[in-house]
A and B are shown apart, each in its own frame.
Chain A
Amino acid sequence: MNARARVGVAALVALSPALAWAQPCAPAAVASGPLALGPGPADFGEVAEPCAANQAVARLRGILLVDTPDFYGAISAGVTLGGRYRIRERWWVSGALDMPTWRYTVNAVVASTALDAGPATVAVHRALVTRESFAVAAHVRALVPVDTARRFGLRTGAELGASAIYRPGVRWFADGGLTAPTALVVLGGRTHVSVVPAALAEMGFALRSWLALSLGAALRTEVHPSPALLALAARPALRVRTGGGWRFALGADVRLVGVDRTAAAVSLFVGRGD
């Protein structure tokens, strides 16, 4: 960061009004946990938000894969609808549905496109620890096999995960978690199982009460059937909270290393709730 930028950030911080929220899951906080920035279906395999809330979210996501030496590329763009709903003090449920998703894949000079819907997820979350500065929650998520992109068979799965947020003060926050999704493809009398655990850690800073920046790293691996580092990805994000409970976020998941050739996923979130 050059001197001019540093001055700018300092000025922003100095001019920002006092931040009234400090609890990890305060409804007024501009950030309440990780964003679903990865390239997976719906929010399957994403580290969940550790805070209960009533919230509806729409995600507009674009995913880019370009492998020039292999003459292969894939682009997809889609909208994911989702939300959280508190059912008891420490329990909440969530769901997500990819709808619709446009895909373009090119194999050298042979290309195709399609517009499809699905899949979906449903999840149950429980707050495990809630302290003055941090919160921990766990979730169980299922991949619902509704997917018009598939020609044959079905793909389902389940995921167990935990997530946390730590807010030591009014400006800084850290969040992250672990998740272990297991996907099943059942087709033609065969079942293919894949286990692709992932971890996420990110740090954020609230520039204003309504504006926060975060930067983190996501680690996605495959332990079955072929152990591999799928991706180590950088996850920058910008979050905005406005009046009326509206939240906006813009983030990206940019692969740094790994066998997954997906270069980047860029997501824009619009949500409203607590």
Chain B
Amino acid sequence: MRTRAGSGVVLLAAALLAPGCKRHGCLGGDDGICQPPTACPVPAEPVCGAPTESLRIGVVDRTSWTAARSPGPKSLGAVGDFVLENDLVRAVIDAPEHAQGLAPSGGTILDLAPRVTDAAHASAGDQLNGILQGVGLLPRDAARYHSAEMVHGEPGFVALVLRGYLDGNNHVSVVTRYELRACESGLRVRTELYNGTRETHTFWLLDGLFYGDRGLLPFAPLPGQGFVHPKLDLLELPKVWRHWPFIAARPQAPPFASYAIVPCSPGVGQGFGDSTFSASGVELAPTTPGDGLAFDRFILVAGGEGVAPAVGAALRARQRFFGEPAPVTVSGRVVAGEDRAPFDSRGGRAASILFYEPAPGADPDAEAGRRPWSEVVPGADGTFTAALPAGKALRAQPHAFGRPAGKAVALSTAGGRATIDLGDVVVERPARLLITVEEAAGKKTDFAEIVMIPVAEPARGAKTPSMYGLFGGCDPMLGPAHGGSPACNRALVADGVVDLLVPPGRFFVYATRGPFATIAREEVTIEPGMERALTLRSALLPLLPPGVLAGDFHVHSGASFDSSLPQIDRVVSLLATGIDVIAATDHDVVTDYGAALDALMVRDRLRIMPGAELTPNTLWFKVPGETFPKTLGHFNFWPLRHDPFLPRGGAPFDENLEPGRMMDAMDGAWAVAAEGRVRQMNHPWAASKLGRDEGFLRVLKYDPRQPIEAGRSFAADVILRRPGAGHRNLDFDTQEVMTGASRRDFIRYRALWFSFLNQGLLKAGVANSDSHTLMVERVGYPRTLVFADQDGKSFDAVSFNAALKAGRAIGTNGPVVDARIVDGAAVYRPGLAAAAIGRDADVVVTVAAAPWIPVSEVRFVVNGKVVRTVLVRLGAGDDPFGRDQAAELKVPLVELVAGVAGDAWLVVEAGLALPLSADLDNDGLADTLDNNGDGKIDAADVPPDPDDEDVRFPDPRRPPAGDARFHLEAIAPGIWPAAFTNPFVLDLDDGGWKAPGLR
């Protein structure tokens, strides 16, 4: 009776109070049928004349998959995902079971692109990695959706309702409604949360914008900002916290789509902007137990270059949602020189205009005080149109090649005018270089790369070109640093010719075809308006032994969340540097470059093995003594089946997995039999980035002086562990000994590899570029030369990979070191299989290098120690533009193993002498150079911030003009010539090889 009475009270209360709360949708929790109302409602929704059949929602199946994909490598919609589209935009929301990127489940905005319906937007496409919802910055704060429901609304909208909880607390329900209306260029999104916990929480209900780095450039219309944002330190969040009327982002490369988020109710968003991860959410306030929270916003996309299309759409959205004044349309034309010739901005690479409110004080153009509102990229005829906020005093500053290119023009959008014609905006006339690259006289090569550097090194502290403050150091800046060619100071050559607009100045212009080819260089003084044709010659050199293929097994392009390089540019860059075969290892997605290979008709010249770099992003792994949880490094896998119908192209979801379980998860994704499958530990000592740990051994604090034996250390236990049913964390086949240009990394990774070899953990050492762009981490520097007994014409991935795993390979960033052991009639090459070799054998080494790559010594490493260094002199500056050079030397094996009692392994290295370095923090790895030049490495060499490795262990800088490394530094900055063989595993006593152990 008492229970019935209690229930009656509850029902009565509910009946009385519920009707008034209906509009709150799921604010009171998710009962499985509630629906959040429309986001950003306006009293009178605009009437739309678009055909109703263009508005639709559906589930992607194999039949509709092609139609659901937008152009661009970041378009990742898979079968089972949801598509919402009208005549303006197409959005793909991934199915709840299709987790991607940072999100623990689907339900995120995976793709959002303008519909390509006319020529004006022919180059539009998807540039989003993903937009997820959360309430904070920890993994447990992300929304985990479990179900989705399609809503066919009448009249004029479709919607998708996602239901779920916070990943770390199922007492907090989260329901998100994505709604697309006819004639709207974005999604109205409303997220409702119910705090079913017993505690008061700070729920920062937010959109997490996973830009990933090197992709979309976030833009905030705030004083001193625009494209520049305060450096994000997650532990110092208040320092970067901002409030904004909208935030936007623009791409660096095609396909061109810019994005904006307009917050509704209230019309001010807050959060932080960062090129890796931005977040925009609600006002911070405690949410008491039993209370709800709602977040309304309009997430839009606009086609076209620059950020102006998105800014204009955002301003129009604010006009509609908040009744703000209509934006003012400003138009004009960019012209060059006194004759005012229309200026082709070449997609913003050559010219653009930044609009901003003037800075207070004497200098209205001061970057620290001005308030950027938009950036417009003129078209091929120089004309431009941009929507700007009304009622503002503004300035328009033309830019070209990363510098202000003319006087800023003042304008006012006050006074009620709807349009303003700025007339002609005059910029300095650029020059034009028409560069032809030849293989031999009169014979054009097909693929090559052009690099330009200033003849005179800019003075320290001098202001170099930048893209509104980004990418300083590109001189000249021919295009956005992470975009397609030309990017930064580099341009790709296809069909032997490239046509470049360049700024005035004195430059060296290089033509290169990779480290196994000659280089050509021309010094040019470029005057405004001049046109000049250059012919540069670069010839391939026969440096590689027969049957050797050059591979790069760590390569990224636009499908990776941290790259925006078009795939066709990636393929050209590979061919331009002489790579024969790659593992396509985009982050967490399998790609095959098929369209790019077909477009260039180079399937017989470049072999692509589809693969993936599994890249955990959510912090979960607890390391003793560490406050924050970790991710467990990056691992590559190839060759994999590329199945575009599957989420992530067929790559398994990799979050919260130890490496062994990643390997287990990969078991269903391989494209070939076991002998041809490769599992690779990448950059084992890479630093963390925004808390995400990229180096497996660094996370574990592995000390290379300590044995990997059970119970000996936390690191050893984890390395040996079998976290799932199948593989141990140790069961990778190859490990990177060189990754990218960093000399510091090479010295450390090499020490880690040597430690493994000494313990009998024989993994093939490889050298990969980990290239994400044209400008940073040059593809093919370094690379792995595989003795595959193949010529590339009849490529067989299984035998190729088997040779690689067996250690029949050399890693190099320039020199070619071919080492053999001649034991009577038998000749041995490096490999992980032990060979019974007599001590009276000879080690014969041939070192070859292009003449612009200096080599000064050959090092013989036995059981981890350099036991002999032989000086050689290659590429010492005699004729850097000449042909190849080689040296051969022979050393008796007995001299190398003189101090070895048992068995041994031998690695041969060649290159420049490694810098003197020391391990001052006693972690077993070098961390400091002789930075003050006093001849010893001690505390005086440690910078004030001891964690600043770029100061503590700096990369080499541009050397003087006469230095033998000058040209290499120009073409591949930071490279310190080095090559290494895989080990000879020497069974010296013919009793079976025994690892020498750590000493």
Contact = CB atoms under 8 A, between A and B. Distances in A.
Interface of A: 65, 71-72, 74, 76, 103-114, 147, 149-156, 158, 182-193, 230, 260-262
Contacts of A190: 14, 18, 28-29, 31, 34
Contact of B24 (A74, A76, A150, A152): A152
Nearest to A145: B17
Contacts of B22: 188-189
Contact of B137 (A76, A109, A188): A109
B13 A188 contact: no
Interface string B27-54: 1110100100000000000000000000
A-B pairs with the 9 shortest C-beta distances? A188-B28, A187-B28, A188-B24, A190-B28, A185-B290, A112-B284, A188-B27, A191-B14, A186-B17
Contacts of A105: 200-202, 286
A162 to B, nearest CB: 16
B292 A153 contact: yes
Interface in B293-337: 293-294
B194 interface: yes
A150 B290 CA distance: 9
Contact of A74 (B135, B199, B235): B199
A144 to B, nearest CB: 14
B201 A153 contact: no
Contacts of A71: 138
Interface string B929-961: 000000000000000000000000000000000
Contact of B285 (A72, A114, A156, A186): A114
Contact of A186 (B13, B25, B288): B13
A156 B17 CA distance: 12
B672 interface: no
Contacts of A193: 10
| Size range of the chain B interface in the assembly | 35 or more
Given A105-B202, A111-B284, A191-B14, 16 more contacts: A103-B200, A105-B200, A106-B202, A107-B141, A107-B204, A109-B237, A110-B137, A112-B285, A152-B291, A153-B292, A186-B13, A186-B18, A188-B25, A189-B22, A191-B13, A262-B199
Nearest to B203: A107
Given A110-B136, A188-B21, A190-B29, A76 B200 contact: yes
A97 B920 CA distance: 62
User: Most chain-A CB neighbours within 10 Å: which of B24, B194, B200, B287?
Assistant: B200
Contacts of A153: 17, 21, 24, 27-28, 290-292
Nearest to A262: B199
A111 B202 contact: yes
Interface in B89-145: 135-138, 141
Contacts of B235: 109
A65 B25 CA distance: 31
Nearest to B30: A190
Contacts of A110: 136-137, 202, 204, 237, 284
B196 interface: yes
Nearest to B233: A109
Contact of B28 (A147, A149, A192): A192
B24 A187 contact: yes
A192 B173 CA distance: 13
A187 B202 contact: no
B900 interface: no
Contacts of A114: 285-286
Contact of B6 (A106, A147, A182): A182
B26 interface: yes
Nearest to A102: B286
A155 B10 contact: no
A73 to B, nearest CB: 10
B380 interface: no
Contact of B292 (A74, A187, A260, A262): A187
Contact of B200 (A74, A151, A189): A74
A230 B197 CA distance: 12
Interface string B759-791: 000000000000000000000000000000000
A187 B204 contact: no
15 contacts: A107-B201, A108-B141, A109-B137, A110-B204, A112-B202, A147-B288, A149-B291, A152-B292, A153-B28, A183-B290, A185-B290, A188-B26, A190-B18, A191-B18, A230-B198
A192 B29 contact: yes
A190 B19 CA distance: 10
A227 to B, nearest CB: 13
Given A111-B202, A149-B286, A186 B21 contact: yes
Given A155-B290, A186-B18, A107 B28 contact: no
Given A153-B292, A188-B34, A103 B286 contact: yes
A182 B141 CA distance: 30
B410 interface: no
A187 B284 contact: no
A158 B6 CA distance: 10
B234 interface: yes
B269 to A, nearest CB: 15
Contacts of A65: 199
A223 to B, nearest CB: 12
A189 B292 CA distance: 12
A76 B199 CA distance: 11
A151 to B, nearest CB: 6
A101 B14 CA distance: 28
Contacts of A261: 199
A184 B10 contact: yes
Nearest to A261: B199
A100 B21 CA distance: 27
A260 B198 contact: yes
Interface in B173-208: 192, 194, 196, 198-204
Contacts of B237: 109-110
A142 B286 CA distance: 24
A107 B29 contact: no
Interface centre among A105, A110, A190 (most CB of B within 10 A): A110
A230 to B, nearest CB: 7
Interface in B418-442: none
A110 B237 CA distance: 8
Nearest to B284: A112
Contacts of A230: 198
B746 to A, nearest CB: 35
Contact of B234 (A107, A109, A149, A158): A109
Contact of A152 (B27, B31, B203): B27
Contacts of B288: 147, 149-150
B774 to A, nearest CB: 35
A188 B29 contact: yes
B170 to A, nearest CB: 11
Nearest to A65: B199
A103 B17 CA distance: 28
B322 to A, nearest CB: 20
Given A153-B28, A187-B194, A230-B198, A108 B138 contact: yes
A192 B196 CA distance: 9
A184 B200 contact: no
A151 B14 contact: no
Nearest to B11: A191
A108 B27 contact: no
Among B135, B198, B203: residue with most chain A CB under 10 A: B198
B718 to A, nearest CB: 20
A193 B3 CA distance: 13
Nearest to B628: A71
Report which residue of B22, B138, B203, B235 has the largest number of chain A beta carbons within 10 angstroms of its beta carbon: B138
Contact of B286 (A108, A112, A156, A187): A112
B865 to A, nearest CB: 44
B24 A189 contact: yes
Nearest to B31: A190
Contacts of B199: 65, 74, 261-262
Interface string B884-909: 00000000000000000000000000
Contacts of B19: 189
Nearest to B204: A110
